[in-house]
Structure 1
Amino acid sequence: MYIPSLLSSALLLGLSATVSAWNRLEKDNAVSLLHFPTDLKKKLIRYQALLVIDHEVGLSQLVRDYGTNDFRNNMLAHAALGNIFDLPTVLTSSSDSGPNGLLLKEITEMHPNATFIRRQGEVNAWDNADFRAAVRATGKKQLIIGGIVTEVCTTFLALSLIDEGYEVFANTEASGTFDSRLAEDANRRMERAGVTLMGMFAIACDLMRDWRNTPGLNELLPFLDKYQFGYGLVARHHAGSIQNGTLSPIELTLI
């Protein structure tokens, strides 16, 4: 079959084009403010907002793909990302006067000044006009989300946000459901639509980028010690070894 040379060249160019292997949580963007004084000519503007979706005491009892204690930790860690990285945060609950229950008080206490949308019937948070307005008011295009249950609260919203042109990062550790199979199905559906799936540690590290940054080691280490104790143990072990440890000569052969 004859293919015109122009089409052939286009196909070859397409095959050789560089493809980005991953979506990064952009740390910030330097924007020139030409009419401001010299010391204010550059302002760092974050790309992200954090959405906390239906982390309610009633709905949390439906989560079976995580243990109760682990998922409580995951919900609080998700909410705490907003404070660590100074992200605009929008909270929402679904019918919280009924069996779905109140949003965890630890979350509302973390974010006393955040916009909190109490939906009275909409299953998909994006169907609520006040919630849509609150998300748009953040002015951010990268949204980090987590909610209960994964295949409904997280997935319905994530797909709606993708359709609206947002870049969506779903915190898979802060999204829980009835069993792991349903979580896998929902994550597969989101991923096919272009949602980036990440856990809390990866989100925190991508936002930080470098331990020497601010937020960096001084801010992240207490956060990780509280919410990702495995990494806290690494730091505690190192500190204990330096402070109180003794070294056997045979140990030197291991490093």
Structure 2
Amino acid sequence: MRTINPETSTLLVIDFQSRLMPAIEDGAASTANARRLINAAAMLDVPTLFTEQNPKGLGSTVNELPTGNAAVVHKMTFDASRAETFPGMIPSRPDVVVAGCEAHVCVLQTVLGLLDAGRKVFVARDAIGSRRAESKEAAIRRMERHGAEIVTVEMVLFEWLGTAEHPRFREAVALIK
């Protein structure tokens, strides 16, 4: 199996929304880890795409995760890949690193959709969340069974860096300390 390459990766940040996050078990940790991925992606020139499920009902992306200049897909479908604007907004890179909520609904269905579309998907288990731990764990098992690789934020970061000689190594490692 190969490592995650920043030149072929996109970071997909799914539905970290203001009215949803208070209900997510250990939501602060998931949010903090997603922020680490977003910062690392910006540092290493990995494009980032955000989604928001029913933003009128669930609010916009939480302030802790500034979208900056990244594209945001507003959707009503649970599987983001079924949203009308999604195919034109996600970069055509083959690898997708996923963070998001809820693991057993929008994250799961989007991951399955991306796999069906032929993408290689890496789910950062410490940057996803659900209201209940058992829902998250069931989603992780199902995504893995269907071909997603389950990783951690640190795994992604160090694989994107590739070497301790990377010019941004110290700056990137500071994100996880």
User: TM-score scaled to structure 2, two decimals?
Assistant: 0.92
User: TM-score scaled to structure 1, two decimals?
Assistant: 0.65
Q: Which of the residues 221, 226, 241 maps onto 2:173?
A: 221
The 3-state SS of whatever aligns with 2:65 is helix
Deviation digits for residues 141-160 of structure 1 (CA, Å, limit 9, x no counterpart) = 00011111001111100111
Q: Which segments of structure 1 move beyond 4 Å, counting only runs of 4 or more?
A: none
Q: 1:91 and 2:50 equivalent?
A: yes
CA distance in 1, matches of 2:69, 2:125: 26
CA distance in 2, matches of 1:197, 1:80: 20
Report the alpha carbon displacement of residue 105 of structure 1 after superposing the two structures with TM.
2.5
Deviation digits for residues 133-174 of structure 1 (CA, Å, limit 9, x no counterpart) = 111xx1200001111100111110011101100000011111
User: Which residue number in structure 2 is paired with residue 107 of structure 1?
Assistant: 65
User: Which residue number in structure 1 is paired with residue 105 of structure 2?
Assistant: 152
Unpaired runs of 5+ in structure 1? Answer: 1-21, 28-45, 226-255
**How many residues are matched?**
177
Q: 1:77 and 2:36 equivalent?
A: yes
* Structure with more of its chain in strand, by fraction: 2
Alignment of 1:126-165 (within 5 A): 126-135=81-90, 138-165=91-118
Contact 1:159 1:190 in 2 (8 A): yes
User: Which residue number in structure 1 is paired with residue 134 of structure 2?
Assistant: 181
CA distance in 2, matches of 1:94, 1:168: 20
Unpaired runs of 5+ in structure 2? Answer: none
Q: 1:116 and 2:72 equivalent?
A: yes
CA distance in 2, matches of 1:222, 1:206: 15
CA distance in 2, matches of 1:185, 1:116: 27
Q: Percent identity?
A: 21
User: Which residue number in structure 2 is paired with residue 211 of structure 1?
Assistant: 164
Q: 1:50 and 2:11 equivalent?
A: yes
Report the alpha carbon displacement of residue 202 of structure 1 after superposing the two structures with TM.
1.0
Matched to 1:162, the amino acid is L
The 3-state SS of whatever aligns with 1:123 is coil
Contact 1:23 1:196 in 2 (8 A): no
CA distance in 1, matches of 2:167, 2:81: 33
Deviation digits for residues 229-254 of structure 1 (CA, Å, limit 9, x no counterpart) = xxxxxxxxxxxxxxxxxxxxxxxxxx
Matched to 1:57, the amino acid is S
Matched to 1:132, the amino acid is P
CA distance in 2, matches of 1:191, 1:222: 30
Bigger relative CO (Cα 8 Å, ≥ 6 apart): 2
Report the alpha carbon displacement of residue 210 of structure 1 after superposing the two structures with TM.
1.1
Contact 1:171 1:200 in 2 (8 A): yes
The 3-state SS of whatever aligns with 1:144 is strand
Greater mean deviation of Cα atoms: 208-217 or 182-191? 208-217
CA distance in 1, matches of 2:37, 2:158: 13
